[in-house]
Amino acid sequence: MGCLFSRRRKPAQGGQLPPAQQAGAEQDAATSEQKAPQYSWDLRAKIDPKDYTFSGLKNETVGRLPGKVAGQQFVIQDCENCQIYIFDHSATITIDDCVNCQIFLGPIKGSVFFRDCKDCKCVVACQQFRTRDCRKLEVFLCCATQPIIESSTGMKFGCFQYYYPELALQFKDAGLSIFNNTWSNIHDFTPVSGENNWGLLPETAAVQDYVPLPSSEELKAVRVSTDATKSIIPITRGRRQKNSDESCLTVFFAGDYTTANARKLIDEMASKGFQLVQTKEVLMKAEDAHRVFQQSALEFIPLLEKGPVVALEFNGDGAVEQCRSTVNEVFSGTKVFVSESKASASQDVDNFYNFADMQMGM
């Protein structure tokens, strides 16, 4: 019966192959080495968990510069009296057992979870925000979904306000829209009858009074501004009581300058004393347009195929007239939906934001 394996040829004298065969064998080995497969996991830079962790620190100022986290997960734990700055986007961040810390967290694609923390002041941008067993956190927040607190007390929230040159691109890399911010729509998972576990920071609250600019030489290289007018996130009133019973809905449709146009209108209206209540960026379909824009729907339906719309609610006496006037003057070549009258504007706002909240599962 024949053997399944061929026998190896015995080497020539002294265990050496003849010169020609020896050269051929060496060539084959070199070729084999060159053709060895390379896998994606071989090419990836090795990740050291220590680069993505701050643990057991006390009385220190630490941080990560733009580009140093690059979408990885990050862990912050057991820190006391520290100033911590993550000037980059990340996948998720957990903060455990931190006391009396001041923390800035750049855009987080997924969730940020605070557990067993107390007396901390934070600036946070994320998809999901959650706390458990925390006490006295003050947070300037941008959150795409409804923030949730659980078994937590003394929580205070304000609207995210921050700027540095790389921040806008980091929001994009994290898949977050600067117009989707439900910072004041808090859900208390464990409410206590007769008590309120959370509230809002004063309207006059300035972020630098809570989380100061970094003092270390390395982190000073990040050109941070806490000027509210420069904030990447438009500052909104959220669920604070409105100053007027008149609001106006304005909707910009997808195009090359949608974000710039929306920011321009926000600046124009703010300069005239009107307040931005809420903003939203969301995809719409034809049936949604009929529900929201009603008689004007047919005019705007063709624009919906280009991408998401950006909606703004302004509040103040005369908001509708001023908004229509500004849009006509500044955006005369651009199709924009603006409420027609004070009488219809309230319904416009309700129609749009009820639709948007359903779309986003709020």
Q: Residue ranges for the binding site for GTP?
A: 110-111, 127-130
Cα distance between residue 301 and residue 289, in whole Å: 6
Cα distance between residue 189 and residue 82, in whole Å: 29
What one-character-per-residue DSSP string does 261-322 give?
Answer: HHHHHHHHHHHTT-EEEEEEEE---HHHHHHHHGGGHHHHGGGGGGS-EEEEEEESTTHHHH
> Helix axis angle, 258-271 relative to 319-330, nearest 10°?
130
Element (H, E) at 19: helix 19-35
- Backbone φ and ψ for 58, nearest 5 degrees, come out as -145, 130
Which positions make up the binding site? Answer: 110-111, 127-130
**What are the DSSP E strand ranges found in the chain?**
53-55, 61-64, 74-77, 83-86, 93-96, 102-115, 118-132, 135-143, 148-150, 155-159, 187-188, 198-200, 247-252, 275-282, 309-315, 336-338
Q: Which residues of 179-190 are buried (b: 16+ CB within 10 A; e: fewer)?
A: bbbbbbbbebee
